[in-house]
A and B are shown apart, each in its own frame.
Chain A
């Protein structure tokens, strides 16, 4: 029974990684850049939700929507101010800028909200008992998994069926050809950042509901792990981010439960290295053949 419990917790943690990884992978797919500030957008989302709940006493649903709104706007602003001017710059310059934005957000949070950790309130209260009470699952866990599935299905439909989704896929395949088909690439990139950042807010709230300690660095480790998950699944691929996230969550929880709590992060990254040695493009990534 403890195995099942660990598995469910792993899927739940993995769901959070998956939601964050979607942001990384979509931005990478379309703008061909690694937005290392993505993890810190999660932290901002969690803080916004925290203050909406605690300081303004807003209902949870409104607080989450507010967090999404703030993060969406933040994502668009970051893209416009920091990344858009570098569209033609070498990718290294963009990468360093992203790291800079990440530090900016962390230190901004430090000034605004201080370093002392805040205890995130419980939004989803309750547990479900199965098998005569042998298996207890928190409502937060279930909602996290459900949210991830809804987001995954929604995004798949969005990119597959709608014209903006098709424009995004077209941009990710061949930006120049897409421009010449009349697609406004800048707008498409903005929409991508908006969606990714809105999802980051959801991930932030879910993360802090599961691990209710909120501080300015809250987003960085989950951010790095979600990035790992995106690479693990094949960066640029939406199903890859989903798969990578879930697997990473399961591996981490199992490593904690059966091997060692201290070593769990090391094991997670060890798995990443092994996967990349065997499948350099990630589990669902496409092998790119470079013409010589």
Chain B
């Protein structure tokens, strides 16, 4: 594959990432469902280690953007360059292997499987033994399975969930299920982590803790994180760059300060102010 040079476009990326290649460079992205332009002319740059936010009213097309980035949908127009590579025509599992992982707005854990097994499924492509050595129970199979389990436990440690490893995923409390989804996504060893409403249904204390967790995940793994979130305290608290989506179009981009004071954003959220 040829490594492409990102097209220059407007966007804020953190200073520290400015001399490194962009992790995500989306240009003129659009998708139509029938006659509806669900997402139109979507352009976004994300730095190597940036925490970015995608916000907007309900039905603005935020999750559609996630589905486009992860190749669940193929775009009608536009280009997505991930780490310099075009993701067009790739299957979702291939995009995952390239280094994009995600969580879901409505939690989609493997509920009948144990917490540990959920994480191990995420590690699927990084457990390097063949089917044959598994069938024959070769020592390499046992060694690699053990390495994988240790690593999975280590990942669960991010959220202090080691003691829940044997629990059935579906039996976890709601907040823990959300956290497990993040761990499972991290297990795929992503370079870009997409979080779809990670704080949904969490109380303020849990949200504050989650903010710390997200920041420490970024610091520990050195990855970029793009999150969709309605909780403004979280978005404004941890995101370095924010894009606001309304009716499938970006209506504003900038730092939290810029977004907070942008009249177009305020109008989209609260309606037009009477004169």
A: residues with CB less than 8 A from B are 158, 161-164, 166-167, 169-170, 173-174, 176-185, 191, 286
Contacts and interface: CB of A to CB of B under 8 A. Distances in A.
A105 B211 CA distance: 59
* Most A CB within 10 A of own CB, among B93, B96, B111: B93
Contacts of B185: 181
Interface in B99-136: 101-102, 104, 108-113, 117, 120-125, 127, 129, 131, 134-135
Nearest to B129: A163
A180 B102 contact: yes
Given A164-B131, A180-B72, A169 B120 contact: no
Contacts of B117: 166, 169
Contacts of B91: 179, 184
B87 interface: no
Interface in B122-167: 122-125, 127, 129, 131, 134-135, 145, 148
A164 B109 CA distance: 18
B124 A181 contact: yes
A181 B121 CA distance: 7
Interface string B214-242: 00000000000000000000000000000
Given A163-B120, A181-B122, 19 more contacts: A161-B134, A161-B145, A163-B123, A169-B110, A173-B110, A173-B112, A177-B104, A177-B110, A178-B121, A179-B96, A180-B72, A181-B96, A181-B124, A182-B93, A182-B124, A182-B125, A182-B188, A184-B93, A185-B93
Contacts of B102: 180
A90 B61 CA distance: 28
Interface string B187-210: 010000000000000000000000
Contacts of B30: none
25 contacts: A158-B134, A162-B134, A163-B123, A163-B124, A163-B134, A169-B112, A169-B113, A170-B121, A173-B111, A174-B110, A176-B72, A177-B104, A177-B109, A179-B93, A180-B72, A180-B93, A181-B122, A181-B124, A181-B188, A182-B96, A182-B125, A182-B188, A183-B121, A184-B91, A191-B131
B108 A170 contact: no
A283 B113 CA distance: 20
Contacts of B96: 179-182
Interface of B: 70, 72, 91-93, 96-97, 101-102, 104, 108-113, 117, 120-125, 127, 129, 131, 134-135, 145, 148, 184-185, 188
A178 B185 CA distance: 11
A180 B92 contact: yes
Contacts of B111: 173
Given A182-B124, A184-B93, A185-B93, A164 B134 contact: yes
A167 B118 CA distance: 10
Contacts of B104: 177
Nearest to A161: B145
Given A169-B110, A174-B108, A183 B93 contact: yes
Contacts of A181: 93, 96, 101, 121-122, 124, 184-185, 188
Contact of B124 (A173, A174, A177, A183): A183
A166 B149 CA distance: 13
Given A181-B124, A182-B125, A170 B72 contact: no
Question: Nearest 7 CB-CB pairs, A to B?
Answer: A182-B96, A177-B108, A162-B134, A170-B121, A179-B92, A173-B110, A182-B125
* Most B CB within 10 A of own CB, among A162, A163, A182: A182
A182 B120 contact: no
Contacts of B134: 158, 161-164
Contacts of A180: 70, 72, 92-93, 96, 101-102
Contacts of A191: 131
Contacts of A184: 91, 93
Contacts of B124: 163, 166-167, 181-183
* Most B CB within 10 A of own CB, among A163, A164, A167, A180: A180
A147 B268 CA distance: 67
Contacts of B101: 180-181
Nearest to B123: A163
B261 to A, nearest CB: 36
Contacts of B131: 162, 164, 191
A6 to B, nearest CB: 36
Contacts of A185: 93
Nearest to B148: A163
